[in-house]
Amino acid sequence: MTKKKNEKLQNSMRLEVWQILTKVFTNHGQSHVLLNRWVQNHKTLTDRDKNFVFQLVHGTLTWQPYLDFLTRQLVHPQRTPLSVQVLLWMSLYQFYFMDRVPNYAVVNEAVEIAKDQFPPYAKLVNGSLQNALRREGFHSLETLAKEKPTSCYFALKYAFPQILYTKLKNDFGQEIAEKIMADSLNKPRYSFRLNTLKCPSQDIFSNLGLNPEEVYQGLTDESFWTTNPKAIQTLLNQGFLTIQDQASILVAKTLLADNLSSDLKIWDMCAAPGGKLTHLAALMKNQGLILATEINPQKIPFIEKNLKRLGVKNVQLKQQDALCEPPLANFDAILLDAPCSGLGVLKRKPEIKLNFDFKTLSDLTNTQAQLLDQAAKHLKSGGQLVYSTCTLNPDENQKQIAHFLQKHQDWKLLKEEQIFGFENKTDGFYIAKLQKK
């Protein structure tokens, strides 16, 4: 028997949000991938609808630890399906973080979604949300501060899992930990890099016609950020600009700071998504050779598209695990932008903090160590290596490099920098530059 369609949910953006969030929480889907795919399948929607979906998905993920704490005051988590809890999380987010959304509309549509997706729980959803609205001070952080231990209060205030908050505090102290957590709640800047292969001059205002009241200088000559993403869309499509965070832009510049000869042979070991790869090509002015390897075959077409869009011609792209022997050897320089826990990009991918666990972290550090050993085998004497991550975790950063140097006595550390996102409104990054003696 065919399920009767609920006409009240036709073109419902909240239903779309619930479906995306359910995939994140039940299938470990990546929100940015799911949202990009959703946009491609809904090109006729208004900007208002798209912005609503993006805000509600991202906001619910960002504040999930806090929303989950509230939800546990309303329903029994072990007796309530996760899909129902997801609906409650996103509804509470609308109550407390989206002022322009009427509460009655939130409740009514949540109940309709429940009737459509899990009818036995429709009354529970309605009663729980009405209960939340009736209870004075229900979501108040001031109330929590009086009732909860200090550590629990800070975790809820910044919507952080307790285990991760404790690690940050142990690694960096209370003050830095709070700054990291507070920064993770901020909206990331829309940063981009000038593609000097197509526009050699840094004067993007006169050469590309950009408005200096909407576009601002970043941390380097070719990095910028804008308050109006639509203003640069055409230039992005034409390859004059490319999206890249300001901290990420520092990586390629660090590798080539001491060597810009025309015949360099470089290995980018983990090339996706390709921002640092194409930046290397631009700094090298399309001269020399860059071997770019990427383990994930699904990311190869995306890299190829960017190489073409930006006019990159000195890259040899190969789908391959970097731990396998590369087709070339004896490199002048190597970039290892290693797979990592991603704790520096929580502003963009908030589900990372929700999935954090020490077993995965241990696996990552082992892989990073193997990749560093592989790089050591294929760099010529006198060559330089940049190891970078988009995490703040010392086990993957400073301690990883210290272990490598202890193991490889013929190497020396030239430069090491931990970038916190709260310092300049960037992503968090770690960059270490080493040289083989």
pLDDT in tens, 308-319: 999 999 999 999
Q: For residue 99, give its domain range.
A: 7-139
Give the predicted TM-score (pTM) of the model. 0.93
In a domain, 155, yes or no: no
> Quick one: pLDDT at residue 371?
98
Given 90, 111, 139, which residue is the final one in a domain? 139
The residues assigned a catalytic role are: 390
Regarding whether 123 and 272 lie in a shared domain, the answer is: no
What's the mean pLDDT in 289-313? 97
State the Cα–Cα distance between residues 428 and 346, nearest whole angstrom: 9
State the Cα–Cα distance between residues 87 and 83, nearest whole angstrom: 7
pLDDT in tens, 332-360: 999 999 999 999 999 999 999 999 999 99
In a domain, 204, yes or no: no
Binding-site residue positions: 270-276, 294, 321, 337
- Burial class of 164 by CB neighbour count within 10 A (0 to 12, 13 to 18, 19+): buried
What is the domain-level CATH number for residue 60? 1.10.940.10
State the Cα–Cα distance between residues 25 and 85, nearest whole angstrom: 10
Q: Let me know the angle formed at the C-alpha of 436 by 267 and 404, rounded to the nearest 5 degrees.
A: 90
Structure tokens at 154: 């800070």
In a domain, 224, yes or no: no
pLDDT: which is higher, 143 or 103:
103
Amino acid at 311: G
Q: Print the SS3 string covering 53-71.
A: HHHHHHHHHHCHHHHHHHH
What is the domain-level CATH number for residue 381? 3.40.50.150
pLDDT: which is higher, 261 or 393:
393
- Burial class of 295 by CB neighbour count within 10 A (0 to 12, 13 to 18, 19+): middle
pLDDT: which is higher, 279 or 41:
279
Q: Is residue 301 a contact partner of residue 326, using CB atoms and an 8 Å limit?
A: no
Given 97, 122, 139, which residue is the final one in a domain? 139
Mean model confidence pLDDT for the chain = 93
Regarding whether 429 and 299 lie in a shared domain, the answer is: yes
Residue closest to 363 by CA, chosen among 336, 339, 333, 332: 339
Three-class DSSP category at 387? strand
The H-or-E segment that residue 333 falls in is strand 331-337
φ/ψ bin of 209: left (φ > 0), alpha (ψ from -120 to 50), beta (otherwise): left
Structure tokens at 274: 């390709």
> Quick one: pLDDT at residue 29?
86
Binding-site residue positions for S-adenosyl-L-methionine: 270-276, 294, 321, 337
What's the mean pLDDT in 51-80? 95
In a domain, 76, yes or no: yes
What's the mean pLDDT in 218-233? 94
- Count how many domains the chain has: 2
- Provide the strand spans (E) within 187-299: 190-194, 215-217, 223-226, 241-243, 265-268, 289-294
Q: Among the listed ranges 16-20, 21-25, 255-259, which one has the minimum average pLDDT value?
A: 255-259
> Quick one: pLDDT at residue 10?
65
